């Protein structure tokens, strides 16, 4: 296969903490902002006032519609338009944040993304028959302000990256560098294993560590489909705090192939890590113990449903000002927040480095723990990290 790398900038919304990316659609091309949903099946757009000279409706009994596995077709008794077509191929576009669904016609139209050589942007590359669903404006509720739809990056044959791959006979592969703050820039690269150059000229593709992606036998979509989940799961086998394993029910980390429960999912529809309640309680206790060992203290913490919280120096014990504590944090390494042993003895570590502690202490930010992890009694899977 030949590679034709394409890219899209990624933005982090200040209000929702969710990510959006950009693509061009229609003829003439118009810029669209799309919620980046890593595990979604169907890409969809708000088709209000949709006009294009290249759009096509899809008939429900065509091969394409059958391959889309949409489960639904429809009729319309108004004048023909992008959203009104008899015997149309329809699907259930879904908002994974609010868990709301709609019914919309599936269209084909021209989509475009900029080319890249891994360093610089190039000209727009056209995908002339990109398949997507229309949706009503109400489905945008709960998503970042200004988005026009959702880019589905799930492991489905007609997901956003899968269609780009087929259009250029390129590898079905993509990379995401998600920004940590709304002021930072992120990027998604499609159709390329690398290079991915970042300042100061470092090819981060050579620094990547790999772990297998696991299949879950059933999906978690509002509308059920008789096929495996399109979301991405990884084989976490344990959790460590400051290098020490914490006692948890490890069966919750694995995927039950009969019930479909359990597992560790990488998600962009939840802007924080979510843990099953028993794991969350054990994790928070271990995290507090590690924090206390470094004379750091959380205030305002009231359990799973706690509001704002922060980490600060324990001035009664140490006699330090926040600035002094911050200087100490800058000089000395801080403790690891957690690490997750993976398949093949690969260990992925998410940690509070010295600068991270310094920022928490100086700015009196929300606690990393409360901001980035939450417990849920209804969850039978671990979700995260929310970048």
Co-location of 271 and 127 in the same domain: no
- Indicate whether 161 pLDDT > 90: yes
Co-location of 255 and 348 in the same domain: yes
Mean pLDDT score, 140-156:
96
Residue 48 within a domain: yes
Distance between CA atoms of 70 and 146, rounded to whole angstroms? 27
Co-location of 148 and 247 in the same domain: no
Co-location of 124 and 255 in the same domain: no
Co-location of 79 and 164 in the same domain: yes
Give the chain's domain count: 2
In the chain, the N- to C-terminal Cα span, in Å, equals 31
Distance between CA atoms of 346 and 208, rounded to whole angstroms? 12
% of the chain with per-residue pLDDT over 90? 43
Co-location of 171 and 75 in the same domain: yes
Predicted TM-score (pTM) of the model is 0.79
- Indicate whether 71 pLDDT > 90: no
Residue 37 within a domain: yes
User: What stretches of the chain show up as alpha helix (H) in DSSP?
Assistant: 63-68, 160-168, 277-293, 315-318, 322-331, 354-363, 368-372
- Indicate whether 206 pLDDT > 60: yes
Co-location of 325 and 279 in the same domain: yes
- Indicate whether 350 pLDDT > 90: no
CATH number at residue 285: 2.40.70.10
% of the chain with per-residue pLDDT over 70? 76
- Of 13-22, 60-69, 268-277, 313-322, the range with the lowest mean pLDDT is 313-322
Residue 173 has a pLDDT of 92
Distance between CA atoms of 38 and 152, rounded to whole angstroms? 6
Co-location of 193 and 269 in the same domain: no
State which residues form the domain around 336.
232-383
Name which residue leads in pLDDT, 306 or 139.
139
Strand order in the sheet with 273-276: 213-214, 232-234, 264-266, 382-383, 273-276, 373-376
Of 168-172, 186-190, 282-286, 310-314, which one has max mean pLDDT? 186-190
Other beta carbons within 10 Å of 185:
11
- Model confidence at 118, pLDDT cuts 50, 70, 90, reads confident
227-276, pLDDT tens digit by residue?
889 999 998 888 888 888 999 988 888 888 888 888 889 999 988 888 88
Residue 135 within a domain: yes
Mean pLDDT score, 382-387:
45
Other beta carbons within 10 Å of 360:
23
Residue 369 within a domain: yes
């Amino acid at each position: 296969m030949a590679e034709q790398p394409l890219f899209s900038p990624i933005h982090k919304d200040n209000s929702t903490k969710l990510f959006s990316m950009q693509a061009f659609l229609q003829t003439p091309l118009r810029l669209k902002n799309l919620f980046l949903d890593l595990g979604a099946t169907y890409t969809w757009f708000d088709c209000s006032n949709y006009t294009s000279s290249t759009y096509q409706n899809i008939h429900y009994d065509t091969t394409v519609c059958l391959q889309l596995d949409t489960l639904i077709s429809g009729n319309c008794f108004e004048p023909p338009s992008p959203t009104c077509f008899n015997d149309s191929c329809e699907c259930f576009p879904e908002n994974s944040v609010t868990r709301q669904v709609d019914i919309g016609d599936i269209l084909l139209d021209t989509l475009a993304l900029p080319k890249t050589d891994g360093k610089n942007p190039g000209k727009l590359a056209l995908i002339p028959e990109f398949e997507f669903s229309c949706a009503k404006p109400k489905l945008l509720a709960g998503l970042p302000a200004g988005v026009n739809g959702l880019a589905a990056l799930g492991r489905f044959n007609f997901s956003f990256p899968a269609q780009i791959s087929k259009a250029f006979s390129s590898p079905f592969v993509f990379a995401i560098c998600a920004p940590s703050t709304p002021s930072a820039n992120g990027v998604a690269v499609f159709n390329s294993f690398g290079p991915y150059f970042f300042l100061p000229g470092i090819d981060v593709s050579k620094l990547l560590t790999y772990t297998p992606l696991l299949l879950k036998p059933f999906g978690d979509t509002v509308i059920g489909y008789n096929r495996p989940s399109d979301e991405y799961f990884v084989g976490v086998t344990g959790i460590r705090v400051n290098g020490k394993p914490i006692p948890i029910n490890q069966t919750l980390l694995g995927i039950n192939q009969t019930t479909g429960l359990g597992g560790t999912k990488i998600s962009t529809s939840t802007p924080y890590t979510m843990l099953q309640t028993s794991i969350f309680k054990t994790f928070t206790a271990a995290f507090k113990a590690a924090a206390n060992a470094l004379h750091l203290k959380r205030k305002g913490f009231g359990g799973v449903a706690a509001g704002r919280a922060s980490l600060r120096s324990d001035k009664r014990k140490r006699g330090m000002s926040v600035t002094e504590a911050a200087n100490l944090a800058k000089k000395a390494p801080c403790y690891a927040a957690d690490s997750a042993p993976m398949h093949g003895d690969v260990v992925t570590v998410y940690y509070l480095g010295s600068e991270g502690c310094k920022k928490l202490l100086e700015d009196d930010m929300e606690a990393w723990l409360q901001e980035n992890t939450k417990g849920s009694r209804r969850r039978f899977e671990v979700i995260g990290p929310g970048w």
